Each structure stands twice: as C-alpha cells, then as structure tokens.
Structure 1
Amino acid sequence: MTVQHSIDLARRYFVDDLPGAAIPASRLRNILDSLQKGRALTPLALGYLAQQGLIALHRFAKGDTTYDEFCAAAGPEQERRQQAAEIERQAQHATVLVRAAEQKAREAEWFARQEAARHARESDPKYLAKLKNQALRESYGIDQYIEKDCFPRLMDILCRIDEGNRLSDDDVLWLTTDGKDYYSDRLQTAFHEREADFYAGEYKRTHDPWNAVNASGHYRKCAQAQRAHDLLISIPAERQKLPKLKSAISTTHGGVMRDLKRWEEALRLGDHAHSLTPNDFRPCTLLGAVNFELGNYDLGRNWYAKAIERGASARSIDYDLRGILLRADQGRREEIKAFLLREDLIRYQWVKRLGDRRPDSQGR
C-alpha cells in the first residue's frame, strides 16, 4: 500500500490529524483497514475508538450511522480535536518559553554571583597578595611546595631582591642552609647581579680595585663575563703595587678569559698570578681548570694538587671538575671521566653518577 493511499484512507475517516492513522501496522491503521474492507470490528477495537474520543467513527463502525451521517459528525469533531491540539501545542510552547526564560534568569543570576565573587576576591588584599607572591615565585623559578615556617622569610627575600635591593649576609646564609631548596638558579643569578652592580658602583665611587675584583666575580656567576672583562681592564695596572691585589686581579681576569674561552690569555694570567703569590691556591685552581678544559689532563691534575697543598679543599676541586664535565661535549666528558677514574677510583666514584645537568655557576 502506497503512502498516498495511507493518507487518503486517513482523510476518508477524518483521522489524518492523528499520527497513528498513516503508520502501517499501528492499531488505528489496522482498524481503518478493517473498515475499508467491510470487516466487523472486535469489541477491543471498538473500545479503543471510544477511548480515543473518536465518537463518530465509533458509531459508524458499530453500524449506528451511515457514512454520510458519519462525515457530517466527524468533520466538526476533527476540527474540535485540531483546535484542542493547537491550544495544547501553544500551551506547551508557552511552557517551554517560560522555562527557557527561567533558566536564562537563573544562569544570569549565577553569572552575576560569580562576577560579584570574582570582583570581591580580586579586590581582597589577601587575594592580591597571594597573586603577587605566586608571580614572584614563578619569576624566580620556585614552583615547589614551601614549608610554612620558611614562607615569610622567602617571600621577604624575593620582594627585596625584586625591588633591586641586595641581600644581607644572614639571607645568603639562610638560602645556602635551611632555605637551600628554594635557592633556585634564577634567584642565584639575581643575587649575583645585585652584588655585581653594587660592587661595580662602589668601584666607580671609590676607585678601590678590590671592588672591581668582587664585582667581576659576581658578574661571572651570573653569566656576564664580558661585563667583568670590561670592568677589569678599566683598572689602571701601573698604579697597583701590592702583589696580593695584582694576583687577585689576574686570577679573576683569568677566570673571565676562561669563561670567554680565550684559553691562552687565561693561562697567561694564571701564570702571572701564581708568580705574584706562589702560596695562594686560587691561581693554581684556575690553571688546573683551564688545562683540563684544554685536554691537558696531567698538567691540570698537577695544578689541582698544588691548589690542595696550598689550602684548597678536595671538595671545591671536585665541584670545579663537575662543572668542567657538565660543560664538556660527550667525547671530552668521557675522556675526563676515564682519566679521573684511572687517577683515583675511590675518590672519583661520583663521576659515574654524573648526569647531563648544567652547572649552577662557573668556577674560577
């Protein structure tokens, strides 16, 4: 049976407004098929028509009216049904609109509360302080949990150094002991920058070469070797008479040349410093480091041994070697490891565990 036939059949019996009338095998459709074929309906089918309010069709199916009488009654009945359906549709649509408006109002109220809460939160001094503290910690690379007892002191340090102030000796002592977990690379760099700028300013003010030496040492530790070089060459060499001062200038300048990979100048300055103060371990440490970086491992070992004889600690020498290893390429690193392990398998066990981390700062 075609779709058009199903529609025509529903129209014939004035039920084309009802969804089930045109659906094959539906209860109403089966009743229409039976009526069209002239078959008597079962009591259940007749009861269904009465339950659905199809009074005219119910009477026609029972044989109480002719088809013409049925049409006369069924038309107005369908109109009333359609009117009622339209009223119901409009009522449902109105209900949907009301519910949508209510939902929109609830959402607007929720967003208004959220905005008010956000505004109140962002205006709260405690919240603003929290944001500032968080930004400070992030800017100095401190992203780990901070112990409650350490928090006030650490934030005070960060605030002061962020404002361009120097740290006190007590601050530095705390950062290298109890607060060492928070002494990040960025914080160390900031500390050395403040110190370098301070001593450079003092040198400009007083012309005391020791201030230039101290500033240069700090510039090296915050990876500003060129600024250290520019400062050191500004010292009038002909005016310096004290061997200790001249040695300190040469040793520091040699370390700067080492940072700039100007190896021959670093060796020359180290030799000059050693000739001025042969009992000072610092020139020996410099010469040991430069020779190791040049691949002169035997010479480097001998200079490091002289440094220890003159007061340098084995620990500081090992730290220096650690920095050299971490800066070296893979081939040179393996050479140095092999050399050190041949020299002293027990002392240099730590080189086997050395990873690929970069050093925190450069040694002299």
Structure 2
Amino acid sequence: MKSMFSKTLSLFQQSAYPLHHTYVQMLERYTTTSEKYLVWQDIMEVSALMGEQYQQFIQLFDAGNLNDFFYKGLSIKVAVKKKKALTGSESIDGVDNAAIEKIIAKYTNLFEHDAECLRQQKEAEKQAEEARRLQLTKERNARMRQEQEARRQQYEKEFVDFPDWDINRIKRGSRAAKILQRLQRQEISEQDFLWLKDKGFENEMINDAFYIQRAKKHLSHWKNARKPWSFVNAIADFRKGNQVREVLPEVKKQLPFSFSNGNKKLQSALYTTSGGAYRDIRDYNTAIDFGEKAHSLTPDNFRPCTLLGAAHILNHDTAVGYAWYQKAIERGFEEERVDDELRSIYIRSDASNKKRLKADLKQQGYSARWLN
C-alpha cells in the first residue's frame, strides 16, 4: 500500500500541484494516525466539496482497489494539468474552493510541521552520529598515542639514537652508546675513536665530531696554559674536523707567532698548519705566503713543500706546485703520498679544472692510472 501511495503521490508534485499533493497526503495520514475518524471526516468533506471524480477516487481507496485508485488519480492529474495550462491554477470550477483550501491548508501546515520535525530528528541523529564518530576517533587516537608512547618508552629503555650523526638503534649501556654519548659532550680518547672505526661506527660526521672536540680541548689548553704546540694541534684538528673558520680568529690574533721565541721548528709548524687552514678556505695566496715563511724557517722539512705544492696547483700554477712536490719527495715525503694528494685535488675539482689539471700534470711528465 505504501508503494502505491508513493506512486500516486508522485503524480502531483508539491511544487506544481500543492493542493492535490496535500490531498493525497491526507490519505496516507489516515493510514498512520490514531485519529482516523477525524482525518476521514476531513477527507470525505474535502472530496465532497471537490466533486464527483474525487468522491470516486476516495471510494476506490476505501474499497482497497489500489490499482484503480492509482489510475483514477492519473485521470484527475490529466484534468488538473489541462486546467492549469489554461488558467495557471489547479482550483476546481463550480465548487467552493475557499472551503477546500481551508481544509487543505490545515493539513499543509501539519505536513510541513511533520517534515520539519523529521528533518530536525534526522539532523539530531546525524549530529549524534558525528559526535559518536568523533568520540570514537578521539578514543582511537588517544589509544594510538598511548601505544606509541609506550613503544617509545620501551625503545628508549633498550636503545639510544644519535640522529645528528645518522646513527640509530644502539643498545643502551653498550660500549658504543657510552662512547658516542661522551663524544656528544667532550673529547674521547684516540683508543675509543679507533674502536668506533673498527666496529663500523665511523662516518664523516663522527670523524668531524672527534676532531672538533679534540681541537676545542687543544685550543682551550693553549689559551689557558699558553702551550704553543697545543695551538698547532688545535689548528690541525679543526682542519680535520672541517671547522677551520672557528680557529682563524685566533690565528690572525697571534700573527706573526712571536711567542715561538726563535723556535724555528715551532714557528714553521704554526705557519704550515695555518697555511693549510687558509688553503681550506681557498685563500691560496695567504697559504702560499705562509708556506714560503715556513720553508724559509725549516728548509729541510717536507711539510711546507707539500703545502706550497697543493696551494700553487689549486691556484692554477701546476708547474710550480708540481716542482714543490718534487722538493717534498727529496726531503722525505713518500711518492705514493704525493699521488694521493694530487688525486685528492683532482677528484675535488670541477669539470673545467679537472681538464686543465690533467693536461698540466701530463705536461710535467706525471702519469697515473686515474689521469687516463
């Protein structure tokens, strides 16, 4: 029956035929209300006012002949549609339309009220469902956070991470963890550093951290105790830790290293290590100047020669640089180490400088597999 009501009701769209739409809705209301007598009275009254076709329509409904009820409704729809096409109204000729509209208006208001109540109920149900869903989401997220926190706490009980050095999941309390934690704060011993390397923990970041921490200790010892060789070691270690700019202010402050008090070996070491620092920041002219000063102080030492060799080559004077490397060999520097330095310079050069350096070295008669 409900599907037949819906089918019949669809004949009269509310927007186009509001009076007839409400009229059919009254019949549906009759089937669901507890006040059937009052509704049926209104149905019978409005049907009598509307005319014989509508009385027949109601009789078919009352008899339960729903198929004929639908087709009678279809016949009424055709007549109403023609009437509205001619007059623009669905009112019925020759009847008391005011009385009909009064009864229909009562039910129109009632149905609108019911529709609004249903809408509010659905909205309330929707809001309740949304609140329930949000609460479930909130509870699920809270459980996930608790689980994550529990896993984090359990992880931290067992392991320690060193993200700055790209080293993670080290067993807490292990020798590796203790050494790395100590390295975060201060210098570690050479023995511990070598142990890390042997166990596979060494990388560029660990290497830098070791030398920087050691450099800071040497620099502090120099400043506090005025131990000159600590200053030399500080410069050398800041270079190894790739942080030469941290020590250069002290280098500039101490020039020309008069505190060496005529100790040529010390003064040469200061100029050589400082020259290496300037080489690292690509100030090759200063590096060459310091290398020449160091060589004049200790002409038999190969270290100033290797500095001058690298600085001249990096300054695009390969012939002079190569000659200095030959002097370094004459003073005890191993030829294999010359090859290592030249190869390092070549690898770190850009494409255009590689091409130039390759041609220059071959012109000097130098040959190596990596140059081919």
Shorter-chain TM-score tier: 0.5 to 0.7
Q: Deviations over 1:173-218 (max 9, x none)?
A: 245454366333xx44443332222101112333221111001112
Query: For structure 2, which runs of at least 5 residues remain unmatched after alignment?
Result: 1-12, 26-50, 81-92
> Computing the radius of gyration over CA atoms, which structure comes out larger, 1 or 2?
2
CA separation of 1:162/1:9 partners in 2, compared to 1, >3 Å: closer, same or farther? closer
Q: 1:289 Cα deviation (Å)?
A: 0.9
2: distance between equivalents of 1:180 and 1:348? 29
Could you tell me which residue of structure 2 aligns to residue 293 of structure 1? 314
Aligned to 2:122: 95
Aligned twin of 2:20: 14
- CA deviation vs aligned residue, 1:109-160 (integer Å, no higher than 9, x gap): 4224424653675587627959x966x51x44x3xx8586899666555533
Per the normalisation by structure 1, the TM-score is 0.62
Q: Is the 8 A contact 1:196 1:218 kept in 2?
A: yes
CA distance in 1: counterparts of 2:173 and 2:339, whole angstroms: 33
Residue 207 (structure 1) aligned to one of 222, 226, 230: 226
RMSD: 5.0
**Matching residue's letter, 2:235:** S
- Candidates 205, 210, 223, aligned match of 1:191: 210
Q: Compared with structure 1, are the counterparts of its residues 173 and 101 closer, same or farther at alpha carbon in structure 2 (3 Å cutoff)?
A: same
**Tell me, what secondary structure is at the counterpart of 2:21?**
coil
1:334 equivalent among 333, 338, 355: 355
Out of 293, 296, 303, the residue aligned to residue 282 of structure 1 is 303
**Residue 67 of structure 1, CA deviation:** 8.3
Q: Residue in 2 aligned with 1:227? A: 249
Question: Is the CA contact (8 Å cut-off) linking 1:166 and 1:195 kept in structure 2?
Answer: yes
What percentage of aligned pairs have identical amino acids? 24
Is the Cα–Cα contact under 8 Å of residues 14 and 75 in structure 1 kept in the other structure?
Answer: no
Instruction: Output the CA distance in 2 between the equivalents of 1:201 and 1:7.
Output: 92
- Structure 1's 261 and 88: CA in aligned 2 closer, same or farther, altered over 3 A? closer
Q: 1:229: how far off?
A: 1.6
Alignment partners' CA distance in 2, 1:112 and 1:9: 50
Q: CA deviation at 1:344?
A: 3.9
Q: Distance in 2 between matches of 1:284 and 1:291?
A: 10
- Alpha carbons of structure 1 residues 91 and 8: separation in structure 2 relative to 1, 3 Å: closer
For 1:124 and 1:279, the matched residues in 2 are separated by 63
User: Does residue 173 in structure 1 map to residue 179 in structure 2?
Assistant: no
- Which digits, 9 at most, give the CA deviation of each residue in 1:30-85, with x for residues without a partner? xxxxxx9x9x99x9xx844636997xx79x99xxxx98699989985885587467
SS of match in other structure, 2:361: helix
1:152–1:84 CA distance, 2 compared to 1 (3 A):
farther
- Cα 1:311/1:175, change in 2 over 3 Å: farther
Indicate if the aligned counterparts of 1:212 and 1:231 stay in contact, CA closer than 8 A. no
Shift of 1:107: 0.5
Equivalent residues of 2:319, 2:360 under 8 A apart: no
Residue aligned with 1:166, SS = coil
Q: Which amino acid aligns with 2:20?
A: F
Aligned residues of 2:22 and 2:107 also touching (Cα < 8 A): no
- Corresponding position of 1:159: 181
Q: How far apart in 2 are the matches of 1:292 and 1:17?
A: 104
- Structure 1 unmatched runs, 5+: 1-5, 20-35, 353-364
Q: Give SS of 2:20's match.
A: coil
TM-superposed CA distance for 1:285, in Å, is 0.9
Aligned to 2:33: none
Q: Tell me which amino acid in the other structure corresponds to 2:328.
A: A
Which residue is equivalent to 1:104? 131
Taking structure 1 as reference, are residues 99 and 253 closer, same or farther at Cα in structure 2, changes over 3 Å only? Answer: closer
Structure 1 distance, partners of 2:153, 2:286, is 55
- Count, aligned residues: 307
The amino acid that maps onto 2:249 is: R
> What is the Cα deviation at residue 94 of structure 1?
0.8
Alpha-carbon distance in structure 2 between the residues aligned to 1:322 and 1:159: 36
Q: Distance in 1 between matches of 2:282 and 2:307?
A: 13
Say if 2:281 is the partner of 1:252. Answer: no
CA distance in 2, matches of 1:329, 1:279: 34
TM-score by length of 2: 0.61
1:14 aligned partner, one-letter code: H
CA distance in 2 between partners of 1:321 and 1:151 (Å): 44
CA gap of 1:194–1:324, structure 2 versus 1, over 3 A, is: same
For residues 151 and 336 of structure 1, do their structure 2 counterparts lie closer, same or farther at Cα, with a shift above 3 Å needed? farther
CA distance in 2 between counterparts of 1:212 and 1:103 reads 70
1:275-315 CA distance string (max 9 Å, x none): 55455332221121122123321221122233345444555
* Cα distance in structure 2, aligned partners of 1:310 and 1:274: 12
Task: Say yes or no: does 1:216 pair with 2:243.
Answer: no
| Contact in 1 for aligned 2:257/2:267 (Cα 8 Å) | no
Q: Residue 73 and residue 239 in structure 1: after superposition, are their counterparts in 2 closer, same or farther (change >3 A)?
A: closer
Post-superposition offset of 1:234? 7.4
Match of 2:3 in 1: none
Q: CA separation in 2, counterparts of 1:9 and 1:281?
A: 106
